[in-house]
Amino acid sequence: ACVLYHNFAPLYILIPAALTPIPAVLLQLGGSDDPFGSSPRGLHWAQFASSFLGSGLVAVPILLHTTGTIELEAMGLSLGGFALLAASFGAAAYLQRRGDDETLLGIGA
């Protein structure tokens, strides 16, 4: 999107992309303070912060187009790249969580 239109403003999407995993990483580094708790302390805050920062992956290209900084096609390329990345992570999570005895699409052998 940047090279096609000689406008490097779509690179601003890298800021929320870099900040999104930070709350989850900090939660993993902090450990659990409550030995009897079922979830680590601060889990919901980490989920909220990651979701808040991750919404910038969709919002930044839309706002840049709304203000006239980038063209519609550049916004579409940025959002399409995010959709492809999200679909890849979703497929990887699905394939990782399914059982070993299942075959493709969860249909048993």
In this structure, are residues 101 and 49 in contact, taking their beta carbons and an 8 Å threshold? no
In this structure, are residues 55 and 49 in contact, taking their beta carbons and an 8 Å threshold? no
pLDDT digit string (tens) for 6-36?
788 888 888 888 888 888 888 877 665 555 5
The candidate with the shortest Cα–Cα distance to 64, out of 82, 79, 84, is: 79
- Give the up-direction half-sphere exposure of residue 5: CA atoms within 13 A in the CB hemisphere: 18
The verdict on pTM exceeding 0.75 is: no
Where the chain has pLDDT below 70, the residues are 30-39, 99-109
